[in-house]
Structures are given as structure tokens and as C-alpha cells.
Structure 1
Amino acid sequence: MENILPLEAERKKKIRRITVLSILAILILLTFIISMNTGYSSLSPMEVIRTFFGMGTEKQSLILFEFRLPRIIVAILVGAGLAVSGCILQGISRNALADPGILGITTGAGLMVVLFVSFYPSNTAAPVLFLPFLALVGGSLTALLIYKLSYKKHHGLLPSRLILTGIAVAAGISALMTILTLRLTPQKYDFVAVWLAGTIWGTSWEFVLTLLPWIIVLFTFIFYKARILDVLNFGDKLATGLGVPVEKERLKLLAAAVGLAASCVSVSGGIAFIGLIGPHLARRLIGPHHQFLLPASALAGALLLLVADTLGRTIMQPSEIHAGIVVAIIGAPYFLYLLARSKA
């Protein structure tokens, strides 16, 4: 009887986690459907269905397949990627405030994109496939700098020092980006201003195909390392005692988190707080075990950004509010709440 009770409790927990994941997936599907129906050129549900099955007009097909669907899919991929990146950073640093935006990783990635836009000839099209690699270089260099400044030989990675260092480095990079904008042409300045505000600017199938391999490969690696993240949460000493090469695994996971954040930033701009809110929402709903927390974070982040982008496109038509601004309206108060509760 004593053995049956823990098994029953574990079975109920597993059912509850699967239920939460299913509900998040259903909410994403519903938002996906609503987002296809909303925008500057409104399409009724029946028009969307007919167009989806090839029975719509040429204009309806153009709106749905060339404008809305790529943007919706990019929003889902970016939201999932940023949330999983934030979940990893929170896990390896054991700091609830860790986030690719707050730590300056997205800012570092964005700096490389802005540098590329600044110096690339304006009369030719920028190669889309090149942008994630540039963003990865910028994000990696920024993450390495923050890691080196936060790490102490006899104390390991200090969570409070990590946050403060990340904020300081992000502020410095943002100042450098502001200086760079002074030499831009009006056309390039408009692009950088939109990027800094955080918007889904990569709205073609080319961007979807560019981002998708990064998401698939890095998600596969990260989900494979879910148990390592659980062990790292016990602390460096206990993790080492359990046979985990702590620094080696931490660097691998940090590289994966940077790769996700950088590739997402390259097509979405400086969208902050998704990597903070997504994992926290998932953790409250599903618990701390990364086997379920990582997919829940991905679904929560995808839902948050898709809702933010849909609201931004519909609230003030014909004008558009950038998704990053909508997310910031939600995320900034939540960050202050977490900061007030933090004991770091």
C-alpha cells in the first residue's frame, strides 16, 4: 500500500502535466486561427477556410499565404525559441531573473545585425541566411564576456553578479548601437528603429526556412539535456558528486541558449521578456522538472508572442503596435515583481 500511493501521486502529476501541455497547444491553435482572420485586410472565417484549400481569390491567397501565415509561424518559432533560451539560462544560473534580453545576449546579437545593416550596400539585398550566423557571433561574444565577468574561481557562477553584469553590458551595447544610428541613411535608420522596438520583420517563407533548422537542431539537443538541467539545479557541488562535468555541460547549454536567442533575434528584433515570462508561467503550471518544463516553456513563449503580435496588428488599425512593445507592457511590471521578490 505504501508503494502504491507514491505511484498514484506520480501518475496524477504526469496526467496534469500532459493536460497543461495540451491546453497550451490548443490555445496556440485557437490564436493561430484568430490571427489568420485578423489584420488590415479582414478575412472572414469562411474566406480563410476556402483560401486555405485553394478556393479563394488571388488577393485572398496573397494575404493569407504570403503575408499572414509566414508571420504567424515566425512568431510561434521565435516565441518558443526565446522562452526555451530563457529557461536554460534560469536553469544553469539558478536565477529566476535570467533572460536573454536582460542578460544582454539579444542586444549583442542585435549589434551584429545592425553593424551588418549599417555597412552592407543599400542597393543590394542582404542575404537572409547570413543574418543568424552574424547574430550568433554577436550573442556568443556577449555571453562569453558576461560569463567571464560573472564567474569566480572559488565560488562558481554567481547569480546576482550574472544579472548585474548582463544589465551593464546590455546598456553599453545599446549605447554603441545608438551611436551607430547617427551615420545611417533614413531608410536604414527606419529599419534599425523598428528592430529596436521589437517586431516580427522577417515575414516571408524564406525567413521561416532560415529559422526552422536552428529551432529543430537546438531543441533536440536541449531536450536531450533536460536531466542535466535538473541535476544542475541541485548546485555545483552535488552535481559534481553525481558525476556531472558541471562547467562543460553548463557551457554546452549556454551555447545552445545563445544560439536560440541569436537566431530568433535575427528575424524578430529586440523582443524582450518572452524568455523571462514564458519559463515562469510554465514553471507555475507544470513544476520544475525540465523534461516537461522545456516543452511547456516553448508552448507558453509561442502563445505569448503570437497573442502579442496579433493584438499589435489589430488594436490600432490601420496602424500597428510592435509585438515587442505589447510584450514589454506585460513583461516590465512582471520583471519588477520578480525583482522585488528576489533574495539575490
Structure 2
Amino acid sequence: MIDPALIRKQRITVAASIILILGTIAVSLGLGSASVSFDRILPALFGQGTFKEEFVLFDLRLPRILITLLAGMALALSGAILQGITRNDLVDPGFMGINSGAGLAVTVFFLFVPIEPGSFIYILPLTAFIGGLLTALAIYFFAYSKKNGMQPVSLVLVGVGFSMALSGAMIVLISSADQVKVDFIAKWLAGNVWGTDWPFIWALLPWLVVLIPFALYKANTLNLLSLSEPVSIGAGVALQKERLILLLTAVGLAASAVSVTGGISFIGLMAPHIAKAITGPRNQLFIPVALLLGGWLLLFADTIGRNILDPSGVPAGIMVSLIGAPYFVYLLMRK
């Protein structure tokens, strides 16, 4: 039975997170090179604004805000799942090689596959998922032992190795590409949110609609996987099967996010860890909080990054790293 005090704390945190997200959205809608007066935001959103106001809000700002919010949620949940199956609070999809695998697939696809622009948006998340999936399966294969099965420590170490190798392969590929494509991929690697139109939202949304409820459904399994292996087996958990299913879920979430936001790390590390510190380690409680915090963190980083320097701003991935790297060092010192 869950302590009622923890449930109450979770509900307060969820409410506070929603208010924080709404406040950041309001600020983000008003700031930018084409600013919109804050007292004109609501009238423009309800169809009573000028052509310029509605164009800025509906064609430029709102799609980008929703993309960063959804992608942050996906990365946070992916990190929470990976931390659960590896029993390591310092794991992130970027550290595990999943982002690099998805990025390498996107790079190969962008450089060598001719495709109609209209189909590009919808195929990109699938391409990233295939790259992330192949990477995850390779990591699983090399981390698996016939004697001991898949050990969480081996999974992390192999994942870090794959991350470095795939990042190197990506750099080799783009070194021979033409300048326009190199510029795009370099921005992607820096975590520059480039999918800022409504079609990117429709391409990303189905992944989240399916995988977020599935992850919440598996919350109790994640609780059991966080215990020692004998206890998990005694509770009736098929360890290898559940780890593989949840690993694929984490891959789908991370790959769909990075396909439109670029290579962003630390969201999957920070959001679950902060959520656990507030509500405790039970997945049913902290996952909803981590989702909201992950969405807010990426939205906040992108809002600050695109307004801090003119004209192009600072990529969201760099802003997140500026926040996340000190936090990671802090966690290392504590752990």
C-alpha cells in the first residue's frame, strides 16, 4: 500500500509542474525576434489577433513549444526506464548509446537516401527507431552472458562503449559530405531543435500515445526489477524478457524524440532523479512527475537558448548540458 502522504506530495508536485509548464509556455510565446505583447497572447490564441500575431504564435512558436515539451517527456521516461532495468540512477539514453545509434541512422538516411520532402518528416522517427533498436540489440548481445544472463553493469559499460564508437562513425560519415548537409547534421549533434512545424508533432505524437501508457502499465514490473535479482525472480518476474521489452520501449521513446530535437542528453538523467527525490522510488508515483519535469526542462532550456544570443541563439542540447553536467558531477560525488 502506498503511503497517503506520498500520494498527496505527488499530486502537489504534479500540479506545481503543470503551473510551471504553463508559465514557461506563456513566456516562450511572447519572447523572440518577432515579439508578441503578453496581453495580446490570449486574444491571438482565440482568433482575435492580427495576421502577424497569429502567424508568429501558430506557425512559429506553438509548434516548437509542443515539440520540446513532448520530446522532453519522451527522453525523461526513456531515462526512467533505463535506470529501472539497469538499477543505476546515473543512466541516460545518451550515455547508453541509444541516441548515438538513432543519430547515426538519421545521418545515413539524410546523406544517402533520396526521398520526397513530404514523406521525410514521418519516416525520420521510424529511421531513428531502427537505428536505436539495432544499437540496443547489439548492446544487449554483447552484454548478455550465458552464465549470468544480462547484468545491468555490463549493459551500462557496453552502452557507453557503443555511444563513443557510433559518435565517431557519425563524424567520419559527415567528413565527406557536402557543406549544407554537414551544417544540418552538426546542428543536430548539438541538440538544435529543428523539427518546428506541425507535421513533426503528428509524427512524434503516436509514439508517445502508445509508449507512455505502456510504460505506466509496466510500472510495477519496473519496481520489481529495481530489487535484487533473486527477489525479482521470486516475485515471478521473467527478468530477461521484461528487460528486453522495456529496453525496446526506452529505445522507441528516445529515438522518436531525438529524431526531431537532435542529440540531447541529461534530460533522461535529471528528470527521473529529481522526481524520485520528491516522491520516492515507486514508479507509479515518480514517472508522472518525471514526465512533466522532463518536458519543462527541455522547454525551459530551448526558451532560454533561442533568446540568449542573436540571431540563431544557443542549441537546446547545449543549454541542457550546461545545466545537466554540473548536476551529473553532483550525483557522482553523492554516489
TM-score where L is the length of structure 1: 0.93
**Aligned match of 2:57:** 64
Aligned letter for 1:261?
A
**Aligned match of 1:305:** 298
Structure 1 20/124 Cα, relative in aligned 2: closer, same or farther at 3 Å?
closer
Whether 1:199 aligns to 2:200 is: no
Structure 2 CA distance for aligned equivalents of residues 307 and 269 of structure 1: 16
Aligned letter for 1:184?
A
Q: Percent identity at matched positions?
A: 46
Relative to structure 2, which stretch is displaced further, 145-154 or 295-304? 145-154
TM-fit CA distance, 1:258: 0.4
Whether 1:132 aligns to 2:125 is: yes
Structure 1 CA distance for aligned equivalents of residues 112 and 64 of structure 2: 27
* Mapped contact 1:139–1:262 kept (Cα < 8 A): yes
Structure 2 CA distance for aligned equivalents of residues 258 and 21 of structure 1: 25
**Aligned match of 2:152:** 159
Cα deviation 1:178-226 (Å, max 9, x = unaligned): 1111222211111101100002111000000110110010001110111
Structure 2 CA distance for aligned equivalents of residues 123 and 145 of structure 1: 31
Aligned letter for 1:47?
R
Structure 2 CA distance for aligned equivalents of residues 129 and 195 of structure 1: 17
TM-fit CA distance, 1:123: 8.4
**Aligned match of 1:99:** 92
Structure 2 CA distance for aligned equivalents of residues 64 and 30 of structure 1: 16
Q: How does 1:25-104 map to 2 (within 5 A)?
A: 25-104=18-97
What secondary structure does 2:93 align onto?
coil
* 2:104 maps to which of 100, 111, 117: 111
Structure 1 315/135 Cα, relative in aligned 2: closer, same or farther at 3 Å?
same
Structure 2 CA distance for aligned equivalents of residues 297 and 337 of structure 1: 19
What secondary structure does 1:127 align onto?
helix
Structure 1 CA distance for aligned equivalents of residues 146 and 14 of structure 2: 40
Cα deviation 1:65-123 (Å, max 9, x = unaligned): 01100000000000000000000000011011111001110110010001011013488
Q: Count how many residue pairs are aligned between Structure 1 and Structure 2.
A: 335
Structure 2 CA distance for aligned equivalents of residues 110 and 205 of structure 1: 22
Structure 1 unaligned residues grouped into runs of 5+: 1-6
* Mapped contact 1:79–1:304 kept (Cα < 8 A): yes
**Aligned match of 2:284:** 291
* 2:175 maps to which of 164, 175, 182: 182
TM-fit CA distance, 1:152: 2.8
Aligned letter for 1:194?
K
